[in-house]
Structure 1
């Protein structure tokens, strides 16, 4: 076999998804995720997960329910190693889906009862849909019961699922791109996705029907890439912590430390170049002043302007920025390039999402 053909074949094989997958459980601060089961589909009905679907995903409730049923069955089939034909779910492009049930064992709304007791503590599901091994791309979607929306659960689970999705195999799926599709009227979800690092990448005009306003609406496509997504910042922005034994987290830590090291070295290089450029500039001006004593360069004010001119990468007066610094977003300094050391864990006891759901009336939520 020619070398180039063999190389192409090897590359193609490396991009194939496994025939069977072990779906890992994932821990969150508010909830935890376990592989979704067929039995959980009835529980989604109990929590009224499809109520108001047209405002959230742009689908009618029946279509949303059918999609969730198909996603869960595809996920279960993949975990059993069944092919598309064996599972009874047609999949001509062999794109797979992973479904997790979002489970709580706490009383987050402060009503004195464990949340979602009637549904075996299931409050919703989160999916990686249409996992494309060739393009290394997947779509993410969260479906929550009507009483559990707007309380920060998506912000707790989405970064953790995305970390697993981006993590290299075998720790994760090794995806290059994760994307979402959201109706233009769902501005709350757009805001959440932006806080997680998604950026708008396209718009499908009049792709959805807005039943509430009796008009068509656009579908906004947003995505983020493996080298753009920062699971630490996306959690830190909402007062949540990294859970280091979750799948893919160790790999994310290693990749981020490597990225920070590259950035710090680049800053040092810029600082050295700035010093060199400032020294050369000063030498040129000294020679110029000596040869032209009556020129503008010899005036005290002009001389002051020259000497206080910021150098490349520097601040006023030619001072270079210190490379030993911490940024406001959790980027660390040279000595400690990780925001969550053993002695500096942030407390999230007063985080906004811990009290967000309290005092809400469940009979009006989601209406």
Structure 2
């Protein structure tokens, strides 16, 4: 487990399926994510236990608070390739009462440190909706820089939004 001052990153357990299903079906939580079609809680739980195990190519961890051990979100590094030294970061805090409390910042810092130190990555990139200002601020605070934009990629709230490509290189992580 990766532990900071506020959160611990840990492997997901079958018992986490109910919370994860609830988050994935909450429009406010998922507003800036591309997602599939609704899935029943029973089917989601059944498939949850069959998730691929963590590996170099894909590490998915739950974000758990240190004060109470509450699962609040999920963070992942995926598409890791030793040939390129790169991976893509995905993160969300599913418990809305935990937004703005520093959990996402610390989880991002922990997973990036793990990626650079344990996985020997050189580059971590992510895509974030242009109007997701809180997330962009977190990423910038940690050292991520904007590299470009994909125009009209995500349709939300009746209009199209750009997705911003940001990256962090080994040695650039702050904090």
Please, which of 94, 100, 118 is the counterpart of residue 61 of structure 2? Answer: 100
What is the number of residues matched between the two proteins?
Answer: 165
Match of 1:159 in 2: 109
- Distance apart, 1:189 and its partner CA: 0.8
Residues in 2 aligned to 1:225 and 1:201: alpha-carbon distance in whole angstroms = 12
Spell out, residue by residue over 1:99-134, the C-alpha distance to the aligned partner (whole angstroms, 9 max, x if none): 11111242xxxxxxx4xxxxx721111111211222
State the alpha-carbon separation in 2 of the partners of residues 29 and 42 from structure 1.
26
Give the aligned partner of residue 88 of structure 2.
Answer: 139
Distance 2:54 2:139 in 1: 29
Q: What is the SS of the residue equivalent to 2:143? A: coil
Residue-by-residue CA offset, 1:60-79 (whole Å, 9 max, x unaligned): 4748xx8xx78x823x263x
- State how far apart, in whole Å, the 1-side matches of 2:66 and 2:115 are: 25
Give RMSD over aligned pairs: 2.5
Mapping for residues 252-331 of structure 1, pairs under 5 Å? none
CA distance in structure 1 between the partners assigned to 2:15 and 2:99 by the alignment: 22
Aligned to 2:5: 29
Secondary structure of the residue aligned to 1:41 is helix
- Give distance in 2, aligned partners of 1:218 and 1:198: 18
Q: Please state which structure has a larger fraction of its residues in helix.
A: 1
Structure 1 residue runs without a partner (length 5+): 1-24, 79-94, 107-113, 115-119, 236-367
Instruction: Using the TM superposition, give the Cα deviation of residue 178 of structure 1 relative to its aligned residue in structure 2, in angstroms.
Output: 0.3
Match of 2:125 in 1: 179
For 1:176 and 1:105, the matched residues in 2 are separated by 29
- The higher-RCO structure (CA 8 Å, 6+ apart) is 2
Q: Secondary structure at the match of 1:39?
A: helix
- Map of 1:199 onto structure 2: 145
Change (3 A) 1:147 1:62: farther
TM-score by length of 2: 0.82
TM-score, structure 1 as length reference: 0.41
CA contact (8 A) 2:5 2:66 kept: no
Of 10, 17, 20, which aligns to 1:41? Answer: 17
**Cα distance, 1:55–1:43 mapped onto 2, change above 3 Å:** closer
Question: 1 CA distance for matches of 2:4 and 2:25?
Answer: 23
Quick one: distance in 1 between partners of 2:144 and 2:72?
25
* Rounded Cα–Cα distance in structure 2 between residues aligned with 1:142 and 1:135: 22
Quick check: which has more Rg, 1 or 2? 1
CA gap of 1:56–1:35, structure 2 versus 1, over 3 A, is same
Q: Counterpart of 1:150?
A: 100
